[in-house]
Structure 1
Amino acid sequence: MTSASAMSGNLVESIVKRDGPCLSTELARKLEAQGLTPEAARKRISRGTGGVHRLAGLVFPKGVRFFYHESDYNGERYWTALAHAVSAASPAYGPVLAALRARGGIIPRQHFSIVSGSPILQRGQVASNTVLERLEAVKLVRILDVEGVGECVALGAKGFLGGADIAGLPARLLTEKILLLAVRDWARRLGMASYDKITLRNDGALPRFGTFNWDLCGPTYLSPMVRYDKARKLQPGFLVCDAVVGEIVDEAAIAAFIRKCRLSAVMRNLPPLMPLLIADRFTREAFRLGKSRGIIMATPYTLFGKDVAIGLATLLQTLSKAAAIAVAKPEVMIELFDRLGQIEGAAGNLRGALFEMLVGHSTHATDGGSIDIGRRFASSDGFKAEIDVLRVKSHESWVYECKGYQPDHMIGAGEVKEWLEKKVPGVYAALRSHDGHASKAIHFEFWTTGSFTAEAVALLDEASKRTRRYTIGYLAGPGVRSYVAKLQVSGLTKMLDEHYFNHPISRFNRKYDATASVDAILASTNLGFDDIAYTALEDLDLEALGDMEDYDEAL
């Protein structure tokens, strides 16, 4: 005779096995539909059964738990149901997954407290670090190390929630950095925040207002935002901003930002905040939702105009397909400097990435072969590295280390020694273990628009003489300029001169040593931007950008 306990267990198991994983509240409703009272349903769920398991490590509000049958574990039905349950029932965990998906499924770990929608620490709320620990514990997210970026948080769930665009991460981060510099410029020029008090996430410590981190933050003394404290001292409000590039942002993706704004607004002692969310595109529903919550919903086009918007969209596309564009359309580099160079701080951030493209184009045009930019390699001993430029021919492989510095930047012996003793041997071993490079002659080159110290040159020369397994070479600023000048691409040498060798900051450092009047220097400086033709972007595929002219109507 079957016991009552076994019958109850069989009922719970049959429901979960038939309908799939679910929350305890949903399971209770299904038991009640079978004629059980709410109390009896609760007791049957709490007893459990052999084939049904309760998810450990993640507790939903009001003690709700997630149940699944062992036959579903780690499969598509399991992950789909868990993601749905998290999104529908947990204000602390749900927004994170949507925010990650909107950012290519991967972010630097240090940005998690910005993206998560949860506070650093706030009474009655789950802290951001705790959210990360719990999501990692149930494998909805994973921690991984990305060469050149560091420790990152990526979507897990065996890929059922979407992949992690690791290859596109550096391009997205640089584009977001330029975008945030543009927002800072906008805020400064309009007096939206104190000129020298605006902080960005790349400045060091993450910008903070209240109990949350943001991409950008600064005090504002605009009349509606200021308050007086008990001592009648003027207290500013705060401009806060988060940014997303490369994706159409929907309602789920803005939930984390809305949550940050809502939880900040209810804190009595906090000054008012002016929230700004900027993204390439919003769905109509997301745009309306954000506006209804008092958020400034902006795009690069609506905030900065068509030139900057196209420049940012092109930058993301260009860096994502750097090798192909470097070979086919090198003039795009010129236009990117021209369109985005007006943003304070942008040129310095563009130099490194675009110098890699310049080296790729120049070496390909001069010596042939196929090129790859930002290629990642790993060897069997755990070594990982990103190759700035890899040029491959039928019988040889060339590896270029690229440093796009100002001409007065000196690369020292320490940097060269690390390259010679760690990166070069590691990359060599990784290439040798790869079928495509196993039998090729391998050459390593260190190129910079700056200079090498005497000690660094001595190290390079010595390594070049003693090394037999591969060759070592190097090229400094004047040599790079001469190499590029031999090409028949209009404007490349001029770009080098204007943005690397003869940039106003470089001339200032060399000629005045930071002692003369800035106004006097600027008065004598001819940037030559009027001579640059706006032609290169006309042929690019900017389909993802859409019709910028009609964007206001589309919203």
Structure 2
Amino acid sequence: MTLIEKILDQQGPLMSNELSSLVEKSEKISYNTASQRVARSKKILKIKGYFTSNLSLCYLEKHVNDETLFESLSIAMFKNGKKYWYTLNAIELHGGIINQKFLECYTNYPIIALKGHLPFKKVIEKFIKSDILNYNSEYYYISPKLKRINLNTLTYKTIEAIKENILTDFGTLNKNIGLISYNTAETYAEYGKFRWAFKGVSNITGLMQGTKPGFVLADILIGTSINEKDVSFFIEKIKHIQSFNNASRIIPFLIVDDLSKEALTALKFHGIAIGFIKELFGQKYAETLKELISVLNNAGASLKFAPEKYLDLIKELKKYNEGLANNIRGALFEFVVGHIHSLDSNSSIDLGREIYENNSRHEMDVLAVYSDKIVIAECKAKRSKIDLKTIDKWLGVKIPAFKKWIEKQETWKKKKIEFEYWSTGSFTDDALEKLEYISSTVSKYKVSFFKPDDIRNKALIMENKKLKEALDDFFLKVKI
């Protein structure tokens, strides 16, 4: 092992100038000579092109395995390449996965060419080319090269749906009090060449400049701890658009469920309105959302220790925001199936887990691990019937990927494998025919499927009044 490798082995990932200084002191050579040794070393790995003064982050392969690389890269970018740091912080803030429309809001890069600024498209292309981020046509992920994490798409996608509902309600509120003009509310809109979660045109006195209207602009951060550095993207976006010649007058909002005292102070210092959900829409609604997010973040534990909590939340959501309840019906149905599987005291439940297998990402709606078997359930809470094309994809793409992944888990090798498909809208005739054929002929694993009556019967067997009511009134209710 060379001296450079030994230093990185002991210290962890280091910026090239820091590593060069340590080599200089240890070898008692000039800094330039030490810097050349670091630059020419073939024994270490480097991340280049994101830092000032042509610096690079130096690391060893072991740092990928012990998961210190991502944190080191984030710190290095914050200190030496902050214009790139916004990307890493946004994606880390959201559990390692983020939709493009939200990433455009959170990263402080213009989406339309702006002199003196790197555009969003160029920055993201660079991250993907460097294999720091992966992309699947809609979502960005932290590359396994940097951080190996178990992505939970159930949590992220549900929180995303909650955000969209809040933005719609925020627009309605602004329209109703006359702060923005009728029919001008937009979500994920462009203003000043940047992306905003919300934009509305305002003709309020004080915002108008002659005949030139003002604007209400907003972004939203919920479901995570928010510190001072996490709100800097919004502060910087506001600074940029206010620096333009003849800039319109604006009211900037950052919509949050909670944030640190330091973040609150920073926003107020820069004249930004903080839209606390409890102040905008009421304490009870805010508490219901907070409990829902908590349940989502701890789905398996919640189903084990408070299995009916999600059923209470369904009732609360229907009371305070039925539109949101309907928008997240799919996620809530995964809790129903997970609830049924959690009855066995020896089982462990995981919802929304995503794996990478067969060169693609695959989401497991419900993963139930029993003492003698592994069950992976597909859950669809749609009104319409599941067609043959969907079933063929499940049988031909998803099941092979899941089976291959299960077989790699050392502790599961002797367990039986079962795959289930639960549909509140039932199946088309040809889809049912295919499922019946597969379930009766496949021997290497078990395939089961559940239609509305089957699901209702499961609840009856459980003798759970709340679950039966939720199924009848919310999931299996026939639309007239």
TM-score, normalised with respect to structure 2? 0.79
Distance in 2, Cα, partners of 1:455 & 1:77: 51
Q: Which residue of 2 aligns with 1:115?
A: 106
Distance in 1, Cα, partners of 2:70 & 2:344: 51
Determine which of 436, 440, 446 is the counterpart of 2:415: 440
Q: Which residue of 2 aligns with 1:185?
A: 169
Change (3 A) 1:142 1:466: same
> How much has 1:217 moved relative to structure 2?
2.8
Q: Secondary structure at the match of 2:206?
A: helix
Q: Which residue of 2 aligns with 1:154?
A: 142
Distance in 2, Cα, partners of 1:150 & 1:175: 16
Q: Which residue of 2 aligns with 1:400?
A: 377
Q: Which residue of 2 aligns with 1:198?
A: 185
> How much has 1:426 moved relative to structure 2?
2.5
Change (3 A) 1:171 1:197: farther
Distance in 1, Cα, partners of 2:330 & 2:359: 27
Determine which of 326, 338, 345 is the counterpart of 1:360: 338
Distance in 1, Cα, partners of 2:95 & 2:153: 8
Q: Which residue of 1 aligns with 2:196?
A: 214
TM-score, normalised with respect to structure 1? 0.69
> How much has 1:245 moved relative to structure 2?
2.4
Q: Which residue of 1 aligns with 2:25?
A: none
> How much has 1:352 moved relative to structure 2?
0.9
Determine which of 372, 385, 402 is the counterpart of 1:427: 402
* 1:277-292 equivalences in 2 (<5 Å): 277-292=254-269
Change (3 A) 1:168 1:242: farther
Q: Secondary structure at the match of 2:342?
A: helix
* 1:266-281 equivalences in 2 (<5 Å): 266-268=243-245, 271-281=248-258
Corresponding position: 1:261 with 2:238: yes
Q: Mind listing any 5+ residue stretches in structure 1 that lack a counterpart?
A: 1-16, 28-43, 201-205, 230-234, 511-555
Corresponding position: 1:51 with 2:45: no
Distance in 1, Cα, partners of 2:84 & 2:355: 34
In the alignment, is the contact (CA less than 8 A) between 1:66 and 1:82 conserved in 2? no
* 1:485-524 equivalences in 2 (<5 Å): 485-502=460-477, 507=479, 510=480
Distance in 2, Cα, partners of 1:444 & 1:156: 27
User: Residue deviations 1:106-154, cap 9 Å, x none?
Assistant: 43345332211111121222212333345567x6x811358xx954243
In the alignment, is the contact (CA less than 8 A) between 1:239 and 1:276 conserved in 2? yes
Distance in 1, Cα, partners of 2:387 & 2:186: 31
Q: Which residue of 1 aligns with 2:434?
A: 459
In the alignment, is the contact (CA less than 8 A) between 1:400 and 1:447 conserved in 2? yes
Q: Which residue of 2 aligns with 1:471?
A: 446
Q: Which residue of 2 aligns with 1:39?
A: none
Corresponding position: 1:345 with 2:345: no
Distance in 2, Cα, partners of 1:48 & 1:21: 13
Q: Percent identity?
A: 25
> How much has 1:475 moved relative to structure 2?
1.3
User: Residue deviations 1:56-77, cap 9 Å, x none?
Assistant: 52464xxx44378999x98999
In the alignment, is the contact (CA less than 8 A) between 2:74 and 2:89 conserved in 1? no
Give the AA of the match of 1:182: I
Distance in 2, Cα, partners of 1:335 & 1:222: 42
Change (3 A) 1:68 1:464: closer
> How much has 1:402 moved relative to structure 2?
0.6
Distance in 2, Cα, partners of 1:362 & 1:79: 38
Q: Secondary structure at the match of 2:116?
A: coil
In the alignment, is the contact (CA less than 8 A) between 2:267 and 2:274 conserved in 1? yes
Change (3 A) 1:275 1:153: farther
Determine which of 82, 87, 106 is the counterpart of 2:78: 87
Corresponding position: 1:66 with 2:55: yes
Q: Which residue of 1 aligns with 2:117?
A: 125
> How much has 1:355 moved relative to structure 2?
0.7
In the alignment, is the contact (CA less than 8 A) between 1:188 and 1:194 conserved in 2? no
Aligned residues: 447
Distance in 2, Cα, partners of 1:392 & 1:85: 40
Corresponding position: 1:243 with 2:220: yes
In the alignment, is the contact (CA less than 8 A) between 2:330 and 2:379 conserved in 1? yes
Give the AA of the match of 1:198: A
Corresponding position: 1:142 with 2:132: yes
In the alignment, is the contact (CA less than 8 A) between 2:48 and 2:56 conserved in 1? no
Change (3 A) 1:442 1:501: same
User: Residue deviations 1:295-325, cap 9 Å, x none?
Assistant: 1113322322322222222222211221221
Distance in 2, Cα, partners of 1:152 & 1:363: 31
Q: Which residue of 2 aligns with 1:552?
A: none
Q: Which residue of 1 aligns with 2:44?
A: none
Distance in 1, Cα, partners of 2:451 & 2:183: 36
Give the AA of the match of 2:190: R
> How much has 1:260 moved relative to structure 2?
1.0
